[in-house]
Amino acid sequence: MVKAALVTLAVVASAAQAFDTKIINGTEAPIGKFLYTTGFRTEDISDDQCMGALIAPKYVLTTATCVHTVFKYASVGSHYLSGDKDGERIKIVKQTRHPLFDHYQFDFAIFELETASKIAPVKVNFDPVVTPGSWATVRGWGASTGEAYTRSPVLLEADVKVWDSVECNNTVDASFPILDSQICAGGADKDWCSGDNGAPLIVNKAGEDYVVGLASLGSSCAIKDVPGIYARTSSARDFIEPYLSTKPVPTNPVPTKPVPTNPVSTKPVPSTPVPTTTKPSC
């Protein structure tokens, strides 16, 4: 098992082909619920690729690895992989990466929409404590088994267990330690996979959904006793919170947390990156 800790960045002939979506061993999500779930499209009725969560009427929270000019539309609230049967398709006018993103940590971005969505946003969790052993849910469009590679036409969901950070560190590749900006979940036969980058990890508190993480890194899909790695929303409060306010968003929102003196990532980044999934095809 090779732990793919850094995003593979490569120039491809068709950037859209780099995002193939799977929720391994998931079941169909209820229609008309979890409408904050968002997919990104190259055209208004094309297939969803990378994912995110609507956190304010004009803002979608996603991963920095999903930032690319190929994405022109956000599909908000749709149960379907493509088309215009339901939900909203809104033009994306701006994509902003977390300023401390280094292709390993702080994997966050905000996509600004041209017009406000009518769908209720999901709440964002800023509590650093997410109880190990508790259950969360990840959703996406894709194959229901690791053997198939055909994407599902409908939204799938899978329940995944949250891991203790120490236990997760003892499980994943030692070259890529789990940091405060990350949270681990999964490790059974259910998982996110290729192209579900940015898929929100959701916990329910007192009847309300909160996004606690975004699908970010991982190894092969749905490997027993090996969790997926998510970007932890509580670590990016200074970056995310301005977009939740009614006040104008700062021109250059920068968190107060300093840049690490010994960054984990040592691999060079190509000059013309195109984001792809960190997980291999399943």
Q: Report the distance separating Cα 72 and Cα 89, nearest Å.
A: 10
- Asked, colleague to colleague, whether 32-123+235-244 and 125-234 share their fold, the answer is yes
Using 50, 70 and 90 to split pLDDT, how confident is the model at 186? Answer: confident
Please, are residues 17 and 45 in contact by the beta-carbon 8 Å criterion? no
Is 3.90.1150.10 the CATH number for 125-234? no
Rounded Cα–Cα distance for residues 144 and 150 (Å) = 9
Question: Can you give the pLDDT at residue 182?
Answer: 96
Top CATH class, 32-123+235-244: mainly beta
pLDDT digits 0-9 by tens, 195-208: 578 999 999 999 99
Query: Torsion-angle region of residue 105: left (phi > 0), alpha (psi -120 to 50) or beta?
Result: beta
Q: For residue 151, which amino acid is it?
A: R
pTM: 0.79
In the chain, where the domains are located: 32-123+235-244, 125-234
Structure tokens of 46?
Answer: 């094309």
Q: What is the pLDDT of residues 113-131, one digit of tens each?
A: 999 999 999 999 999 999 9
